[in-house]
Amino acid sequence: MGGPLEGIRVVDVTEGAQGPWAGALLGDLGADVIKIERPQGEMTRHSGAPKKNGIPLYHAGMNHGKRNIVLDAKTEEGRETMLALVRRADVFLENWRRGVASRIGFDYETLSTINPRLIYASASGFGEHGRYSHKAAVDNVSQAMGGYVSINGVRGGTPEKPRFIVIDFTSPLTIAQAILMALYTREDTGRGSHVGTSQLSTMVSVGQVRATEYFMRDEVPEPWGSATPFIVPSQAFRTADKYIAVECPDEASWRALCGALDLPALADDERFRTNALRVEHRDALEPILARAFVRFEGDRWIARLTDAGVPCSTFTWDIEDLYSDPQVVANNLLEIHTHPDIGWVRTNAVPWKLSETPAHYGTLSGAMDESHDSVMAELRAEELTR
């Protein structure tokens, strides 16, 4: 049996990361995703991103599981082909700058007229309204605007940019969720709808915890390194050979930590009896814990803390350590794919485990226009059966 979106057709005209990854997620769930590229190719084919054998890896990964055709919407032939695809589509996914869709005649009002069941999905940078709605958005800009950079880094030091791509890969989740909800609603109403999200809305939503800190304390959040201002301990500790991460989110885990450290009296120390007191006396507690942790090697501490039920982890310095981690392997979180031009590529597996309608990671994106003949043949066949 195919994925839960088997039989759903998506026309994807997006570029960059936000829209293309959302389209790829829908493909993972079984949708037939037709990626339309402009004749010069989308931006990730020409960016400074890493390449292998001349093939841009970002594009190959973010557009996996899609069929690719090249169309020029500025020509009559290209426009008619796009409209023919829209008439038979369930979802139209775009991330054009605001105003572009209306200018070229591919806005929701126009397309919903020719296909009333169409889910028109807009993945924008800064939303539909306001003075920023026409601005281009990328992950770095969204992280900077959202405060992610300003609160990252060592305590008292210079703010630093997180190296993981945060907004570009969380925003696609929100637009994919909106599309799924719209498809579900269409089952009752029989009508399509216009759904949308933006990097701005995702950035605000994901930053909720830090925003709550500000509104509760009326203090601008600052960098804390590996620590957090409201839970102690919750940070990195140096062991005899490496750093480990440890957190005690409740009093039970705190008492368990004291036992694992062979410091049972610490649990009853009046300065550290509750988390609020530990936060207040952080400067006194941290050196005590630091001296305890440096006694043994990190793996020994991880074993002891895990047995005690204390949340902990080693730090993954090399991504290979994560990919070879027994837990990652046991849960089949990675896949090996073979690309005709790139060779073998290791990717993530799909994150969903669906017993009746399993999802799967499709083939990596290939050459531009590689599916042109098959898509056009389908359109001609569908036209004959109308």
User: Computed over its alpha carbons, how large is the radius of gyration of the chain?
Assistant: 25
What's the rounded Cα separation, in Å, for the pair 258 and 265? 8
- Could you tell me if residue 59 is inside a domain? yes
Same domain, 309 and 259: yes
Is the pLDDT at 356 greater than 80? The verdict is yes
What CATH number did the domain enclosing 374 receive? Answer: 3.40.50.10540
pLDDT over 90, % of the chain: 67
pLDDT over 70, % of the chain: 99
Same domain, 252 and 160: no
Same domain, 187 and 268: no
219-256: b (≥16 Cβ within 10 Å) or e: eebebbeebeeebbbbbbbebeeebbbbbbeeeebbbb
- Could you tell me if residue 101 is inside a domain? yes
- Could you tell me if residue 15 is inside a domain? yes
Collapsing DSSP to helix, strand or coil, 92 comes out as: strand
Is the pLDDT at 384 greater than 80? The verdict is no
Same domain, 67 and 197: yes
What CATH number did the domain enclosing 301 receive? Answer: 3.30.1540.10
- Could you tell me if residue 325 is inside a domain? no
For the CA atoms of 61, 62, 64, 69, the dihedral, rounded to the nearest 10 degrees, stands at -120
Same domain, 143 and 247: no
Amino acid at 91: V
What's the rounded Cα separation, in Å, for the pair 256 and 248? 9
Work out the pLDDT band at 134, boundaries 50, 70, 90. confident
Same domain, 156 and 14: yes
What's the rounded Cα separation, in Å, for the pair 152 and 222? 8
Residue 308 half-sphere exposure toward CB, CA atoms < 13 A: 23
Q: In this predicted structure, what is the pLDDT of residue 349?
A: 93
pLDDT tens digits, 89-124 = 999 999 998 888 999 999 999 999 999 999 999 999
Which domain range does residue 250 map to?
234-238+243-314
What's the rounded Cα separation, in Å, for the pair 308 and 294? 19
pLDDT tens digits, 361-377 = 999 998 899 999 999 99
Same domain, 117 and 201: yes
Same domain, 48 and 181: yes
Work out the pLDDT band at 84, boundaries 50, 70, 90. very high
Pairing state between β 234-238 and 243-247: antiparallel
Is the pLDDT at 386 greater than 70? The verdict is no
- Domain end position, chosen among 314, 345, 366: 314
- Could you tell me if residue 367 is inside a domain? yes
Q: Are 235 and 311 in contact (CB under 8 A)?
A: no
- Could you tell me if residue 216 is inside a domain? no
pLDDT tens digits, 191-226 = 999 999 999 999 899 888 888 878 877 888 888 899
Two tokens, residue 312: 């902990």
Q: Looking at residue 331, what DSSP letter applies?
A: T
Is the pLDDT at 281 greater than 90? The verdict is yes
Q: Which residues are catalytic?
A: 168
In angstroms, how far is the first alpha carbon of the chain from the final one?
28
What's the rounded Cα separation, in Å, for the pair 10 and 175? 13
- Domain end position, chosen among 266, 283, 314: 314
- State the average pLDDT for the chain: 92
DSSP notation for 237-294: EE-SSSEEEEE--SHHHHHHHHHHTT-HHHHT-TTTSSHHHHHHTHHHHHHHHHHHHT
Q: If you average pLDDT over residues 338-355, what whole number do you get? A: 90
Same domain, 256 and 194: no
Helices assigned H by DSSP within the chain: 18-28, 57-62, 76-87, 100-104, 108-114, 139-145, 167-189, 199-206, 208-217, 251-260, 264-267, 275-280, 282-293, 298-308, 319-323, 326-330, 372-384
Amino acid at 98: R
Q: Are 159 and 149 in contact (CB under 8 A)?
A: yes
If one counts the domains in the chain, the total is: 2
pLDDT tens digits, 294-329 = 999 999 999 999 999 999 999 988 888 888 899 999
Is the pLDDT at 149 greater than 90? The verdict is no
Name the β-bridge partners of 92: 11, 120
What's the rounded Cα separation, in Å, for the pair 267 and 173? 42
Amino acid at 303: A
- Domain end position, chosen among 314, 341, 365: 314
Q: Are 10 and 90 in contact (CB under 8 A)?
A: yes
